[in-house]
Amino acid sequence: MIFAHLRLRRRVGLLAAGLLDGREQDDVRAHLAACARCRAEAHAEAEALGPVVAALESDPLRSAEPHVPASVLAARVARAVAEAPAPAGRKRFWLVALPAAAALVATALVLPPLLKRFRPEPVAARVTIPPAEASALLSEDALARIERNLAREQAARYLSEAGEVLVSVAATGIDCDREDDRLDVGAAPERSRELLEKRHLVADAGGEAVASARGVLTDVELALRQVAELPACVKRRDVELVQKDVEARQLLMRIRLMTRELEG
Amino acid sequence: MARLAQGDREALTPLVERHYTRLYRIALGYLRQRDDALDVVQEAFVKAFQAAGRWDGSADAGPWLSRITVNLSIDRWRRNRRRGQTFSPLAEGDHLEVLAAVGPSPDRGVHRREASDRLAVALGELPERQRAVVVLRHYQELSLAEIASTLGMSLGTVKSSLHRALHHMRATLAGGES
């Protein structure tokens, strides 16, 4: 009995606010008939909220008519639609995602042999030759060439990883909150932050070796900053903003071309 | 909607005619600025066209359009807030004709206008989702289940949000009167 009272008492306020119906409403009403204290509470609640509901229901904006005729709005919408891209759907999504994925696959196929060619010797192998001896064995030109190749290799890898992050955001179709139209971008924000931390090592320390990549690196940095600010579960329109920005800057194509150039 | 999903722009006109006033009242109830409300509704239809391919076609488009409108209204509200323009009483000319038409005397018209302004402040102080629930309930007269479906919330959350919102508004309105 006491439990029923405690359970139903919590709903007295909801009943007074008109938020119960059906069996729930019947149960609380039956309880009110037997509980004077609850009746008093319901009465007080109704008195308190009644004026608020009355104020809302007498608001003239409830019956406001639009000040622009429907035909005019329809024309405006049609014009806006004509200026905008075709219906999104999943088709348009894949128009972006597929070429990007293909580019990544191509990069993945081409990059490893090239990286292998320029990959530095394992540390253990290098330390067996003291720097002085190495200098004696290698000319200054040869050392400069190696340093240059390493800087360019590092920049290529950085761009490739950044490209992966951007594609993973642009191509995500995984709903994390369907009701709120949110998409899961997984670890992309975190990876963006990691890449941004490494950026100066690539751009600044790379010096003249990566001079031609500065424009792409700057645009990649801007895009990564956008992604870095996203939560893991992000509104679809925010994903679309990143996607549009990447498209507008032709960033994936430029990353691909620059990666090839850096790889020699 | 099926025609929209195929990219048929001719299908826009009947869709606009059918849902325009309802969506306008949602946006106006939320934002209380008619130009903003109109912008939001226009954007909602554009979004609907662009996203028509993702609509599964299994349900009425009404709740889906309402949800887009609510979300866009929230976005517009946030943007206005950043610019310090969130609030509140209707600007001169905004539905003055509606406010004036409801009372036979000038005094009553003034009173109605003041009441509307107080209501705007009370609504404006609610958290975003609570305000959306109030607008759908009291400006659209949707059932609690319909609100839950429109906003993607549980029925219990809708009830508790609405209950809290009414109490919050009561406190604000009472404060404004003192």
- Phi then psi for residue A173, to 5 deg, are -130, 15
Residue A127 lies in a domain: yes
Q: Are A76 and B42 in contact (CB under 8 A)?
A: yes
Q: A53 and A99 in one domain?
A: no
A50 shares its domain with A178:
no
- Our measurement of the distance from residue A180's CA atom to the centroid of its chain's CA atoms, rounded to an integer in Å, reads 14
Range of the domain at A180: 88-263
Whether the per-residue pLDDT at A129 is higher than 50: the answer is no
Query: Which residues in B lie closer than 8 A to residue A45 (C-beta atoms)?
Result: none
Q: What is the pLDDT of residues B42-99, one digit of tens each?
A: 999 998 888 777 666 666 788 889 999 999 999 999 888 887 765 554 444 455 455 4
- CA distances for B25 relative to A63, A84, B68, B123, B158, angstroms: 8, 26, 14, 15, 20
The predicted structure's pLDDT at residue B162: 94
My answer on whether A107 and A213 are in the same domain is: yes
Model-level pTM?
0.55
Between A204 and B68, name the one with better pLDDT. B68
pLDDT beyond 60 at B119: yes
pLDDT at B168: 94
pLDDT digits (tens, 9 = 90+) for A141-186: 766 777 777 788 888 888 888 888 887 777 666 677 777 777 777 7
Mean pLDDT of chain A: 75
Does A196 fall in a domain? yes
Which of B132, B127, B140, B138 is closest to B158 using CA atoms?
B132
Taking the CA of residue A187 and the nearest CA in chain B, the distance in Å comes to: 25
C-beta of residue A78 within 8 angstroms of C-beta of residue B49: no
Does residue A52 share a domain with residue A120? no
Chain B environment of A78 (Cβ under 8 Å):
9, 12-13
Report the domain count for chain A. Answer: 2
- Domain topology for B1-86: Rna Polymerase Sigma Factor; Chain: A (1.10.1740)
Residue A15 has a pLDDT of 84
Instruction: Flag whether the ipTM exceeds 0.90.
Output: no
Does residue A79 fall inside a structural domain? no
Contact of A248 with chain B, judged by CB distance below 8 Å, is answered with no
For residues A51 and A178, state if they share a domain: no
The domains of chain B are located at: 1-86
Q: How many CB pairs under 8 A join A and B?
A: 147
Per-residue pLDDT tens digits for A88-114: 444 444 455 555 566 666 656 665 555
- Would you say B30 and B132 are in contact if contact means Cβ atoms under 8 Å apart? yes
In a domain, A120, yes or no: yes
Q: Judge if A125 and A199 occupy the same domain.
A: yes
Contact B50 A61 (CB under 8 A): no
A50 and A146 belong to one structural domain: no
Interface test with A, best of B46, B47, B154 (most A CBs within 10 A): B46
Average pLDDT on A190-202 reads: 80
Domain boundary among A10, A44, A59: A59
> Which DSSP symbol is given to A185?
-
A215 belongs to a structural domain: yes
Q: Is residue A101 part of a domain?
A: yes
The answer to whether the Cβ–Cβ distance between A61 and B25 falls below 8 Å is: yes
Q: Is residue A195 part of a domain?
A: yes
pLDDT on residue B22 = 94
Claim to verify: residue A38 and residue A160 sit in the same structural domain: no
Residue A142 forms part of a structural domain: yes
Last residue of a domain, one of A39, A59, A79: A59
Q: Could you give the residue ranges of the DSSP H alpha helices within chain A?
A: 2-16, 22-34, 36-57, 70-83, 89-118, 123-127, 131-137, 140-170, 188-203, 214-228, 236-248, 251-263
Residue with the bigger pLDDT between B85 and B137: it is: B137
Same domain, A27 and A118: no
* CA–CA gap between residue A109 and residue A165 (Å, rounded): 18
